[in-house]
Structure 1
Amino acid sequence: MTISREDSARIYSTLDKSGVFSGGSQNDFHDAGENQLAILTHFGLTASSMVLDIGCGCLRGGRWLIPYLNSDCYFGVEPNVEMLEIGKKIVIDSKILQDKKPKFNTNSDFEFDVFGTTFDYFIARSIWTHSSKKQIEKMLDQFVRHSSPSARFLTST
Structure 2
Amino acid sequence: MKRARSSLAHQATYAIKHPEKIVPHLRRLARDTWFRLRTRDHVSYYRAVMRSDTARDPEGAVGSHSHKRWLEVGRMQFDYLVEHGLKPECRLLEIGCGNLRAGHLFIDYLHTGNYYGIDISPDILIAAQDTIVRHKLADKLPHLTPVRDLRFAFLPDAHFDVVHAHSVFSHSPLHVIEECFAHVGRVMKPGGWFDFTFDRTEGKEHHVLREDFYYRTETLAGLATSYGFNATFMEDWERGPHKQSKMRLTKRTTL
Secondary structure of 1:77's aligned partner:
strand
Query: 1:139 matched to which residue of 2?
Result: 180
Q: Which has the larger radius of gyration?
A: 2
Give the total of aligned pairs: 141
Which runs of at least 4 in structure 1 moved beyond 6 Å after TM superposition? Answer: none
- 1:107 maps to amino acid: V
**Structure 1, unaligned stretches of length 5 or more?**
1-14
Query: 2:209 matched to which residue of 1?
Result: none
- 1:71 maps to amino acid: T
Does the 8 Å CA contact 1:119/1:146 hold for their aligned counterparts? yes
- CA drift of 1:102 comes to 1.1
- 2:123 maps to amino acid: E
Secondary structure of 2:132's aligned partner:
coil
Query: 1:116 matched to which residue of 2?
Result: 156
- Normalised to the residue count of structure 1, the TM-score between the two structures is 0.81
**Structure 2, unaligned stretches of length 5 or more?**
1-52, 199-255
Q: CA RMSD in A?
A: 2.0
Q: What percentage of residue pairs aligned between the two structures are identical?
A: 27
**Per the alignment, do residues 113 and 102 of structure 1 end up closer, same or farther by CA in structure 2, a change over 3 Å counting?**
farther
Does the 8 Å CA contact 2:54/2:124 hold for their aligned counterparts? no
Does the 8 Å CA contact 2:164/2:194 hold for their aligned counterparts? yes
- Normalised to the residue count of structure 2, the TM-score between the two structures is 0.51
1:19 aligns with 2:57: yes
- CA drift of 1:44 comes to 0.8
Cα-to-partner distance string for 1:55-83 (whole Å, 9 max, x where unaligned): 00111111111001001110011111011
- CA drift of 1:19 comes to 2.8
Does the 8 Å CA contact 2:155/2:187 hold for their aligned counterparts? no
> Hey, what's the Cα distance between the residues in 2 that align with 1:63 and 1:129?
22
